[in-house]
Chain A
Amino acid sequence: MSNPNERKFKVVGTRPIRHDGLDKVTGRANYGADLSLPGMLHGVILRSPHAHAVIKKIDLSKALAMPGVRAIVTGADFPEIGSGGMAAGESHIDPKDLQANIMARGKVLYHGHAIAAVAASTIEQARDACNMITVDYEVLKPVLSLAQALAKDAPILHPGRKTVGVPPLPEGDTNIMMRLANAKGDVDAAFKSADVVAEGWYEASMAHQGYIEPHATVVTTRENGQADVWCSTQGQFAVKSMIAVTLQIDPNLIRVTPSEIGGGFGGKTTIYLEPVALLLSRKARRPVKMVMSREEVFRATGPTSGTRIWAKIGAKKDGTFVAADTRMEFEAGGFAGSPMGAASMTVFASYNFPSFRLEGLDIVVNKPKVAAYRAPGAPNAAYAIESVIDELAQKLAMDPIELRLKNAVKEGDTASYGPKFDRIGFVECLNAAKNHPHYKAPLGKNQGRGVGAGFWFNVGLQSSATVSINDDGSAVVRTGNPDIGGSRASMAITAAEELGISVERVRPLVGDTDSVGYCDLTGGSRVTYATGMAVIEASKNVIEHLRARAATIWGCEVDAVEWRDGQAVGTNGASNNKPLSLADIAKQMGHTGGPIIASASVNPPAAGPGFGVHLCDIEIDPETGRSTVLRYTVVQDAGKAVHPSYVEGQLQGGAAQGIGWALWEEYLFDKDGKMENPGFLDYRMPVASDLPMLDTVVVEVPNPLHPYGVRGVGETPIVPPLATVGNAVSRAIGVRMHQLPMTPPRVLDAIETKKG
C-alpha cells in the first residue's frame, strides 16, 4: 500500500457541492414516505397502552367489519422462530427477539409495543379499525428503572431466561440478561498505592437518536411470493436479511430499495414496519404503505440506553494513573441487547491503566428496546470515566489536558480491550486542543470550561462498488450504501481522484439489493473508508480497461500504456502517440471492445481507531440553573478528510447531539411506564439557536490501513460531549454533577445544596 503521507491529492480534500444537494434543498428528493403506488393501502399499528402485560386475547371481529379494511395481522401471523444469533450487517441480533419487538406475541414489554396492524383504504379507516380491536390484557407491574430491575422482588420480564456471560452469574429468574467482566493486574493493591483517588456514580437518561425522518415503508407483493420493499434504512441488504428471518421466507424473493434517508444515527440499522407491511400486503394483495408518527418513533423505536455507571481512578501525585475500576449498568429496554459490550471495550481504551477491573450488566426494563446510536455505549462510558478524570485533575491541581496527555495511549500501547494500537492520533488531538485559542480564552463569572475525550473503533465490513464509463467520458459509481452523511460525495471524489477527472463528471448512485453488489450497513463510520476502498479498486480496474483500449487504438502492447493524470500516455515505443483522455477513449468504446465497466469488493479490517477531544465553555444562570453554551470546539483525528466539509459536519453534528443529551434530552415516564414527552415540543433536542458556532479542528494522522489514510469519523464526535459538558457545568458551579441531562432544576438543586 502506498504511503498516504507521500501522495499528492487533486480531488481528495476538496469541498465540492454534494451531488444530491439540489434535490434535497428543493424538496425533490424522495424520502420513505414520498412513494405511493396505484391501489395502495395504508397500514396503521395498534400499540399497547400498558408497559408490561400478558396478552390474553385479541378480538379482531369488529375491526375486520369496518369500512375499507382489507387486512389485519397480529403476532399469530408471524412464524414461530427460535432464538440464536444472526448477522445483520454489522450487528448480531436474536431473530426471535427482533420478531417479538416488531409484533408482540403473548406479552407486551413496553408502552407502545405493537399488538396488531390494520391495512385499509385510508389512514383514517385503518385508525378507526385499530380502535375497534379488543385486547384482553393481564396488566403486570412494570420495571421502569435499573434499580427496580435489580431489586430482589423485581417483576421479571422474561421468566426462565438465564443470564449469559462471565461468572458469577445470577441464579434463578433475573432481569440481567448478560454480565461481562474483565480485569488486569492487582487492582486493589494498585489503588492502595495511589496518592489520589476519585470516584462516583454517573447516570444518563434514555435518549433518542432524534432523526428528523420517521420510519416509513411501502411494500408490494406478488402472487409468486416476490416482494418489493421501499423504506428509509441505513442498510437495504440488512433489511432484506431481517425480513427473511422474521418471516421465514426466501431472501431471494425480497428486493429492498432504500429511499433517501432523513437521519438514522444507528436507529435505522434495524426494522420495525417492513415485515408487518409485507404480511398486510400479502393478505390484502395490494401495496401497503406504513409511516410512523413522531409519537410512535419515540414510543416504539430504539432510543439508546439509560445508564448508571460507577467509575473510580487512582493516580500518583504526578498524575500517572495506577488503577481504574467500573461497574456499568445498561438499560436494554424490553429485550436483551444494550451496547454494554462496546462500552466495556471503550471505557478504559483511551488511557494506559496498569491495572483495571470492569463489570458490565445488560438489564431489561419495560421501556422501548434500545437500538444503535452513534458509537453505541461509548458516550455513556466516557461520561463516567472522563468525569472522574476531571475530578482527579481538580484534586491534583493539574491542567486536565496535561493529565490526559500524561496517560494517553499512543502507537504501540496495549489497548485495554487487548491488542496493541497501530498509528493513532490521540496525543495529536490533545495537543491541538491545548494549543487552540479556545483553551486560552478567558472565562467570566459563573462560567466553566470542560474538557473531555473519547474513542471509537470504527468498523470495516463488506462493501462493493461498480464504476462504469459513459460515452462522453463521464463516470457512474454505484454502491449499496444509503447516503446518510455525504457518502455520495466521498464516493464521487474517490472515483474522480483515481480516474483523474473532475468530481462533477462522476455521478454517484445508491442501488437496491438487486442492482448493486452486497454492502453491509451504512454505519460504524465505515462507508467512506470501506466502500471507498471498493471504489478505489473498481476505479483501478476501470483504468486497466482504459489502458487496454488505448493500446488497441495505438496498436501497441498494453504494457506500453500508462495512466497518468487522467489520461493514457504511451511509453516504450508508443510514446509518439498523443495522450488520450478518458473522454477520448470513451468515444471509441464501441470500436475497442464495448462498454467499459468494472467492479470490486472488499472486506477490510476495522477502519482505524478514532480519537477526539472536546472543549466546552458554559455559563450558568445562578438564579435559574439555565445553561448557555458559550464556546464549543471539536478536535478529531480523521486520518484523511476526503471531503473536509462533511467531516466537519460530522464533528459538529455529533457534538450537537451530545450537548443535547447532556443538557436537555431525556425520556420521561409516568408511574405506569407511559412516555410523557413523545414529541419534539417536550423532548427537548437542541436547535440552531441553542448553540454557538461549533468550531472544529480536523487532525490528520493517516490510517495505515487505507490508501489515502482515511479513518472513520461519524461516531467518535458523540463520545466526548456528555463528559465535556458535564465537566464544564461542574466547574462553573463548583459542584460535581452526576446525572444527565443537567436540566435547570437539577443544576439549581446542586447550587442550592452547595449553599446549604
Chain B
Amino acid sequence: MAKVIFSGGLRALTGAESVELEAARVVDLVAALYARFPVLEGKLEQASVAIDGTLYNDARYQKLRPASEVHFLAPLAGG
C-alpha cells in the first residue's frame, strides 16, 4: 500500500494527515484518491510529486513500491 501524506491545503481539504491506498502507479493512486476524497477531483494533475524522497515535476506514470511514501506538492518552478 502506498502511503500518501497530506500537508497544507490537501490536509485541509481531506481532513486527513495521511492515507494508505493500493496503487501500482501514480496515475492509479490519483484515481484512488479521487474515489476516496471526491473533494480532490482535478486538483492533483499539475502537482509535483515526491516518491520516497525523489521529486518529480511529472510523475503520472511513475511506478510505486508497495510501501512508497508519496507527497503531492505545488508545481515546482524556477527562474
Contact = CB atoms under 8 A, between A and B. Distances in A.
Residue among A265, A419, A523, A712 with max Cβ neighbours from chain B (10 Å) = A419
A92 B54 CA distance: 21
B79 A182 contact: no
A57 interface: no
A139 interface: no
A418 interface: yes
Nearest to A525: B78
Contact of A372 (B7, B57, B74, B77): B77
A456 B78 CA distance: 9
Contact of B9 (A166, A266, A524): A166
B9 A461 contact: no
A419 to B, nearest CB: 4
A605 B76 contact: no
Contact of B46 (A85, A267, A460, A462): A85
B1 interface: no
Contacts of A669: none
Interface in A392-419: 417-419
Interface string B1-38: 00001011101100000000000000000000000000
A184 B7 CA distance: 9
Contacts of A555: none
A374 B77 CA distance: 10
Contact of A342 (B8, B12, B74): B74
A345 B9 contact: no
Contacts of B57: 90, 459-461, 603, 605-606
Nearest to B8: A182
A660 interface: no
A373 B77 CA distance: 11
A703 to B, nearest CB: 11
B8 A180 contact: yes
Given A166-B8, A419-B55, A90 B73 contact: no
Interface in B60-79: 69, 71, 73-79
Given A87-B46, A266-B79, A421 B74 contact: no
A418 B71 contact: yes
Contacts of B73: 345, 417-418
B78 A180 contact: no
A420 interface: yes
Contacts of A419: 50, 52-55, 69, 71
B58 interface: yes
A458 B5 CA distance: 22
Instruction: Describe A's contact surface by its main secondary structure.
Output: loop
Given A166-B12, A526-B78, A417 B7 contact: yes
A421 B73 CA distance: 15
Contacts of B79: 209, 265-267, 269, 372-376, 523-524, 715
Contacts of B75: 91-92
B39 to A, nearest CB: 12
A373 B79 CA distance: 5
A705 B54 contact: yes
Contacts of B5: 418
Nearest to A458: B78
Interface string A461-487: 110000000000000000000000000
Residue among B8, B9, B76, B77 with max Cβ neighbours from chain A (10 Å) = B77
B7 A182 contact: yes
A266 B69 CA distance: 32
Contacts of A181: 8-9, 12
A457 interface: yes
Contacts of A603: 57-58
Contacts of B54: 419, 422, 605-606, 705
Given A85-B46, A182-B8, A419-B69, A605 B78 contact: no
Contacts of A172: none
Interface in A297-351: 339, 341-342, 344-345
A91 B77 contact: yes
A411 to B, nearest CB: 9
Contact of A422 (B48, B53, B77): B53
A418 B76 contact: no
B56 A605 contact: yes
Given A166-B12, A417-B73, A459 B78 contact: yes
Contact of B77 (A85, A90, A209): A90
A165 interface: yes
B76 A524 contact: yes
A663 B78 CA distance: 24
A418 B78 contact: no
Nearest to A302: B79
A167 interface: yes
A267 B52 CA distance: 33
Contacts of A458: 78
Contacts of A339: 77
B58 A421 contact: no
B76 to A, nearest CB: 5
Contacts of A87: 46
A91 B16 CA distance: 28
Residue among B5, B12, B79 with max Cβ neighbours from chain A (10 Å) = B79
Contacts of A418: 5, 7, 50, 71, 73
Contacts of A90: 57, 76-78
B5 to A, nearest CB: 6
Contacts of B53: 419-422
Given A372-B77, A375-B79, A715-B79, 12 more contacts: A209-B79, A265-B79, A269-B79, A376-B77, A418-B73, A419-B69, A420-B69, A460-B55, A524-B77, A524-B79, A606-B48, A606-B57
Interface of A: 85, 87, 90-92, 165-167, 180-182, 184, 209, 265-267, 269, 339, 341-342, 344-345, 372-376, 417-422, 456-462, 523-526, 603, 605-606, 705, 712, 715
25 contacts: A90-B78, A91-B77, A92-B75, A180-B9, A182-B8, A182-B11, A265-B79, A266-B79, A342-B76, A375-B79, A418-B5, A419-B50, A419-B54, A419-B55, A422-B53, A459-B76, A459-B77, A460-B55, A460-B56, A462-B58, A523-B79, A603-B57, A603-B58, A705-B54, A715-B79
